């Protein structure tokens, strides 16, 4: 069967539940990995998701901020859940669907100053990535495992609108890029979106609300990712390396500042 997995920082799931339903109808993902749901678990719009076909849920909510959830058309089993956030935020939820272990992540943004000695938020971001890297290093490359979510790092030169400028800005600084490379190297994670659209083509999944027309300003960053282990390489190749950024969703009325991203696997 083909398994379509979507990742989307919805920036408030209750505010955008209608957009979720529309996206589900248009793109038919089997699994939705949602970040920044901005609600507690009891406040999650479970009934609306069930009506859209997603009756199986794993939710880690938090009052006001953060929060992640996995919503699936297929049954869900538990998956390992390492402790990644030293602050106790709801930033990670895991599940196994159709034999694929899914880790849905909302990595801390890191604040404005890219210096962990003076900016606790940046130190927290690097600590989160280090913990995630350590946890993944304990797994096996042949395991059918993926990480998805708003990782809040644009790892490549062509994942930002201006490499020289952004190298001094949180989300693309050398220390963050190095942390992402270390994470990717643990299991040899495969970045399907970059493989589907090789460099030097630019890719982005986030555009600031400050721009009246995000396409005209074109100052995007690729912060949203789905990486698979080599153990899922055959499953991805069987679907013709299908990996898309749905930037049209960013143009919908009252959008999230992030566009959803999807991949397909034959499992």
Distance of CA 83 to the CA centre of its chain: 18
Backbone angles phi, psi at 44, to 5 degrees: -65, 135
The structure's pTM equals: 0.98
Convert the pLDDT of each residue in 159-205 to its tens digit.
999 999 999 999 999 999 999 999 999 999 999 999 999 999 999 99
Residue 213 is part of which domain span? 2-266
H-helix or E-strand spanning residue 180? helix 174-187
Convert the pLDDT of each residue in 104-152 to its tens digit.
999 999 999 999 999 999 999 999 999 999 999 999 999 999 999 999 9
Question: Residue 171: beta bridge partners?
Answer: none
CATH number for the domain including 235?
3.60.10.10
Measuring CA to CA, how many Å separate 159 from each of 5, 171, 252, 264? 21, 10, 23, 21
* Percent of the chain clearing pLDDT 90 (strictly above): 97
Backbone angles phi, psi at 104, to 5 degrees: -100, 125
Domain count for the chain: 1
């Amino acid at each position: 069967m083909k398994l379509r997995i979507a990742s989307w920082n919805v920036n408030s799931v209750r505010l955008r539940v209608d957009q979720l339903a529309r996206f589900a109808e248009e793109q038919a993902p089997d699994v939705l990995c949602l970040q920044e749901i901005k609600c507690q678990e009891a406040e999650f719009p479970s009934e609306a998701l069930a009506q859209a076909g997603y009756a199986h849920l794993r939710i880690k909510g938090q009052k006001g901020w953060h929060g992640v959830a996995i919503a699936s058309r297929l049954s869900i089993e538990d998956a390992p859940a390492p402790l990644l956030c030293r602050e106790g935020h709801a930033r990670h939820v895991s599940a196994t669907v159709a034999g694929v272990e899914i880790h849905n992540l909302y990595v801390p943004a890191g604040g404005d100053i890219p210096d962990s000695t003076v900016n606790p938020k940046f130190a927290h971001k690097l600590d989160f990535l280090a913990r995630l890297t350590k946890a993944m290093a304990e797994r096996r490359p042949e395991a059918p495992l993926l990480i998805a979510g708003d990782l809040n790092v644009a790892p490549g030169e062509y994942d930002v609108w201006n490499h020289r400028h952004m190298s001094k800005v949180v989300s693309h600084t050398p220390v963050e890029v190095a942390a992402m490379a270390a994470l990717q190297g643990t299991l040899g994670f495969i970045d399907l979106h970059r493989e589907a659209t090789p460099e030097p083509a630019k890719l982005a999944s986030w555009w600031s609300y400050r721009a009246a027309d995000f396409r005209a300003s074109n100052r995007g960053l690729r912060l949203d990712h789905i990486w698979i282990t080599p153990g899922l390489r055959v499953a991805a190749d069987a679907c013709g390396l299908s990996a898309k950024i749905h930037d049209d969703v960013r143009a919908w009325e009252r959008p999230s500042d992030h566009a959803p991203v999807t991949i397909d696997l034959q499992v």
